[in-house]
Amino acid sequence: MIIIVKVTLIHASWCTACPATRRLWKELKSEYDFDYEEIDVETPEGQALIDKLGIAGIPTTIINGEVAFTGLPKKADAIARIS
């Protein structure tokens, strides 16, 4: 059985670390097989995730429904979580 990893990035237009985090996940998406989505913190869906998971900082990476990283993860740490 193949397990598909789902990565969700919570980001914001005003966030200074978000562009680098978005680039990292997009780069990894081109190299690894996982589902990827980005959700703006200022949308109802973003607010719902913040409330549900108790997110305190942006950017936050959620992997398979759990907070995995806050801020820009190291590439090796990100790869370890998706491979």
* Residue 60 falls inside a structural domain: yes
Within a domain: 66: yes
* Any domain includes 76: yes
Q: What amino acid is encoded at 67 in this protein?
A: V
Residue 1 lies in a domain: no
Write the pLDDT tens digit of every residue in 55-78: 999 999 999 999 999 999 999 999
Average pLDDT across the chain, whole number: 95
The pTM score is 0.94
Range of the domain at 54: 6-82
Number of structural domains in the chain: 1
Which CATH number covers residue 62?
3.40.30.10
Which of helix, strand or coil describes residue 3?
coil
